[in-house]
Structure 1
């Protein structure tokens, strides 16, 4: 479960960047895997979501936020759940967050 104390407060300046995300008009099911999705279907869906992230003007803010709050689900900032877990598991990479 996400650690609530790490979530941003109700100050619009902290999350207003989300309005500029390339994903705002995309189908959210592309960014979150359905129950039981595995293997190549999951990889294809995640890669399609990451392709949207690739040209996003707020990619860095989204990625930093997802890593900072340890977002457990979905593709955020061009990183899947597994990508984020690998970054956070590596002390050298996690320090950069």
Structure 2
């Protein structure tokens, strides 16, 4: 039940164009301060996980994990995604409460 809530909210954020997906784009948005929340798939490669985790810690961006990349992709109506960044403070706050 909770899973469907965060997935539909993420889909909504995507349709509102408040979401960016793809490792490189997410890293860029963390660096330039646009990312309010990063969501990482638990099955991301160790390298990707480390890179994103380190960047999030350095730039003080909250990071949440979800079960797998298929789930993350499905939530935004796309192919499997390893990481997405939420660019809106409101969506980010609500997603954090749902993913805790």
TM-score by length of 1: 0.29
Larger radius of gyration: 1
Q: Which has the higher helix share?
A: 1
Q: Which has the higher strand share?
A: 2
TM-score by length of 2: 0.29
